[in-house]
């Protein structure tokens, strides 16, 4: 930098000498040279005299003796500076008036407007920003530690986003859906997501985590496994007891971002921005912030399908400028064996939606107008209360538990097209009746075996030996006319 400044000074001296060189070397008049260069004759005359008196060094501009000083005393300068820092919302003219009143009462020389202005220009901008707003100072002037994961699944980020698009719900209302995303920090790959109209909650995060952890059927979307760490902000759903319990059961660390420091979510926020710029803006109903609502063109199910296709076939395959390769390539090129749960049932038990207790009716289990049935429910669970877990993404089946013990998967014929035949129902009924009748017969035999011991019978009086009972003679008195 210093060498560059010296080079600039040298070029400036050469330019000044070239202006007057014909006058010195060839005797050209100042008037003629002024016409050729367009520089005033007096300026050329001053340069010529300075060169004749001091040589090339004399052509260099000398700094003013009062540079960096002000036309006021140091104490007045400090007062001006203090007012500009503390009263940052006031104009330069207002500060000049205030300080002038102080100077008049102290018999000091008052400052001019330009003196106050020059002092303000020399106050560091970060000092003024911190005086105005601490949050703005942190955003603009504080250094940020940028963490970068070194391997896939070392760190995941989770966040919610109200999508900038209006879609039709089942009642014909235009609503903005909510997107929950799980992002791998190392590869920028989306490990899992969940879209619906429900507000941010721990259950949304659990549903997205379940999809992020388990294997995907698509060959272009291979991200899976349990992360070492999960980074979130301090939203109520992210600090909930349920998410903490999930982290303990699956053995990963929960990391909470610092309050009022959104810089930690930069990568996942960048994904949301990419989604808006490359996907949502091309759909009917796209309504960014501060824009009038647009007429929806999609239902929620159509948006889910379109988003999934864009995510798997475009976002995961396109080159990310920051990492220099696509998220899919970056995640798959490093050899690894992802940590997985012991079984998918364990994952279901932890991360699926938990509904209230449900009664098993003869026609099955009813949830949200749908009826779920399984022949396993015939084995002693009809009219019993059971717990139900289900995947909000796939409502075609539910997982039934009784006293925290898994019973069966019950399916909804309206959603998956599967319907039990009459013969299957009859076989289940007959099997259950046979089992119950066997228990009844066994119980009857056991009762008959011990019935003699269980009975309480009265004992008849025994006559005393050597005694006889007196003979009772019937009365001969006629009490009624019918007596003979």
371: domain CATH number is 2.40.50
Q: What is the pLDDT of residue 70?
A: 54
Measured distance CA(365)–CA(371) in Å, rounded? 6
Three-state DSSP at 56 gives helix
Please indicate, yes or no, whether residues 166 and 266 belong to a single structural domain of this protein.
yes
Q: Is the pTM of this model over 0.75?
A: no
Please indicate, yes or no, whether residues 181 and 264 belong to a single structural domain of this protein.
yes
Residue 91, domain member (yes or no): yes
Q: How many domains does the chain have?
A: 4
Please indicate, yes or no, whether residues 232 and 98 belong to a single structural domain of this protein.
no
Three-state DSSP at 80 gives helix
Measured distance CA(458)–CA(439) in Å, rounded? 33
Please indicate, yes or no, whether residues 39 and 117 belong to a single structural domain of this protein.
no
Residue 59: DSSP 8-state: G
Q: What is the pLDDT of residue 457?
A: 58
Domain end: 393, 422, 451, which one? 422
**Which burial class, exposed, middle or buried, applies to 410 when counting CB atoms under 10 A from its CB (0-12, 13-18, 19+)?**
buried
Residue 148, domain member (yes or no): no
Measured distance CA(43)–CA(480) in Å, rounded? 168
- Torsion angle of C-alpha atoms 343, 344, 345, 351, degrees rounded to 10: 120
List beta partners, residue 182.
Answer: 158, 192
Q: What is the CATH number of the domain that holds 219?
A: 3.30.420.10
Q: What is the pLDDT of residue 454?
A: 59
Both tokens of 382, joined, read: 């009809």
Residue 259, domain member (yes or no): yes
Residue 409, domain member (yes or no): yes
Q: What is the pLDDT of residue 442?
A: 75
Q: What is the pLDDT of residue 246?
A: 83
For 200, list phi and psi in degrees, rounded to 5.
Answer: -55, 135
Measured distance CA(4)–CA(15) in Å, rounded? 17
Q: What is the pLDDT of residue 135?
A: 77
Three-state DSSP at 165 gives strand
Residue 340, domain member (yes or no): no
Three-state DSSP at 422 gives helix
Please indicate, yes or no, whether residues 45 and 167 belong to a single structural domain of this protein.
no
Please indicate, yes or no, whether residues 189 and 322 belong to a single structural domain of this protein.
yes
Please indicate, yes or no, whether residues 299 and 175 belong to a single structural domain of this protein.
yes
Please indicate, yes or no, whether residues 177 and 316 belong to a single structural domain of this protein.
yes
Measured distance CA(123)–CA(110) in Å, rounded? 20
Please indicate, yes or no, whether residues 286 and 309 belong to a single structural domain of this protein.
yes
Please indicate, yes or no, whether residues 15 and 85 belong to a single structural domain of this protein.
no
Measured distance CA(234)–CA(230) in Å, rounded? 12
Domain end: 365, 390, 422, which one? 422
Cα within 13 Å of Cα(394), Cβ side: 13
Both tokens of 313, joined, read: 């076939």
Residue 34, domain member (yes or no): yes
Residue 482, domain member (yes or no): no
Measured distance CA(214)–CA(191) in Å, rounded? 9
Q: What is the pLDDT of residue 6?
A: 39
What tens-digit pLDDT sequence spans the chain (484 residues)? 434 433 445 567 788 888 888 888 888 888 888 888 888 989 888 888 888 888 877 777 665 555 555 578 888 899 999 999 898 888 999 999 999 999 998 888 999 999 999 999 998 888 888 888 887 777 777 766 567 788 999 999 999 999 999 999 888 889 999 999 999 999 999 999 999 998 888 888 888 998 899 889 899 999 999 999 998 887 777 778 878 888 888 889 988 876 656 555 778 889 999 999 999 999 999 998 888 888 898 999 999 999 999 999 999 999 988 889 999 999 998 878 888 888 777 776 666 666 668 889 888 888 877 888 888 888 888 888 888 887 766 778 888 888 878 888 888 877 776 554 545 556 666 776 777 777 877 777 767 776 666 555 555 555 555 555 566 566 666 666 555 5
Measured distance CA(84)–CA(20) in Å, rounded? 47
Measured distance CA(173)–CA(348) in Å, rounded? 32
Please indicate, yes or no, whether residues 279 and 375 belong to a single structural domain of this protein.
no
- Cα–Cα distances (Å) from 287 to 177, 281, 284, 300, 393, in that order, read 12, 8, 9, 15, 25
Residue 471, domain member (yes or no): no
Please indicate, yes or no, whether residues 41 and 115 belong to a single structural domain of this protein.
no
- The range of the structural domain enclosing residue 385 comes to 352-422
The 10 Å CB-count burial string (b at 16+, else e) for 22-45 is ebeeeeeebeebbeeeebeeeebe
């Amino acid at each position: 930098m210093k060498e560059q400044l010296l080079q600039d000074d040298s070029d400036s001296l050469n330019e000044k000498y070239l202006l007057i060189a014909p006058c010195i070397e060839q005797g050209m008049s100042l008037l003629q040279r002024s016409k050729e260069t367009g520089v005033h004759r007096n300026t050329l005359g001053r340069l010529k005299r300075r060169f004749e008196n001091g040589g090339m060094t004399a052509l260099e501009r000398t700094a003013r003796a009062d540079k960096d000083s002000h036309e006021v005393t140091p104490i007045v300068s400090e007062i001006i500076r203090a007012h500009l820092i503390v009263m940052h919302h006031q104009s330069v003219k207002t500060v000049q008036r205030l300080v002038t009143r102080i100077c008049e009462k102290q018999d000091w020389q008052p400052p001019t407007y330009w003196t106050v202005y020059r002092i303000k220009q020399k106050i560091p901008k970060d000092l003024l920003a911190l005086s105005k707003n601490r949050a703005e100072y942190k955003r603009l002037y504080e250094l940020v530690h940028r963490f970068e994961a070194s391997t896939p699944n070392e760190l995941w980020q989770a966040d919610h986003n109200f999508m900038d698009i209006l879609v039709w719900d089942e009642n014909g209302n235009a609503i903005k859906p909510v997107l929950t995303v799980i992002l791998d920090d190392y590869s920028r790959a989306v490990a899992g997501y969940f879209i619906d109209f429900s507000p941010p909650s721990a259950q949304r995060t659990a549903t997205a985590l379940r999809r992020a952890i388990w294997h995907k059927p698509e060959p272009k979307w291979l991200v899976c496994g349990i992360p070492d760490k999960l980074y979130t902000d301090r939203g109520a759903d992210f600090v909930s007891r349920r998410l903490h319990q999930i982290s303990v059961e699956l053995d990963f660390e929960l990391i909470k971002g610092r309050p009022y420091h959104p810089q930690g979510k930069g990568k996942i926020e960048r994904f949301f921005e990419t989604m808006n710029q490359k996907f949502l803006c091309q759909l009917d109903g796209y309504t960014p912030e501060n824009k009038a609502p647009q007429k929806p063109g999609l239902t929620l199910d159509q948006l889910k399908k379109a988003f999934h296709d864009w995510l798997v076939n475009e976002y995961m395959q396109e080159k990310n400028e920051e990492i220099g390769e696509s998220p899919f390539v970056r995640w798959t090129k490093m050899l690894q064996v992802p940590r997985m749960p012991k079984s998918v049932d364990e994952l279901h038990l932890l991360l699926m939606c938990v509904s209230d207790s449900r009664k098993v009716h003869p026609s099955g289990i009813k949830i949200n107008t749908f009826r779920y049935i399984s022949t396993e429910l015939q084995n002693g669970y009809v009219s019993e209360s059971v717990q139900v877990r289900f995947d909000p993404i796939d409502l075609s089946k539910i997982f039934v538990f009784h006293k925290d013990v898994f019973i069966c998967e019950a399916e909804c014929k309206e959603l998956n097209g599967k319907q039990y035949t009459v013969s299957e129902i009859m076989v289940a009924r007959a099997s259950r009746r046979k089992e119950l009748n066997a228990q009844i017969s066994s119980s009857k035999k056991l009762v008959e075996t011990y019935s003699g011991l269980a009975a309480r019978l009265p004992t008849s009086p025994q006559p005393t030996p050597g005694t006889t009972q007196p003979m009772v003679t019937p009365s001969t008195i006629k009490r009624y006319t019918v007596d003979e």
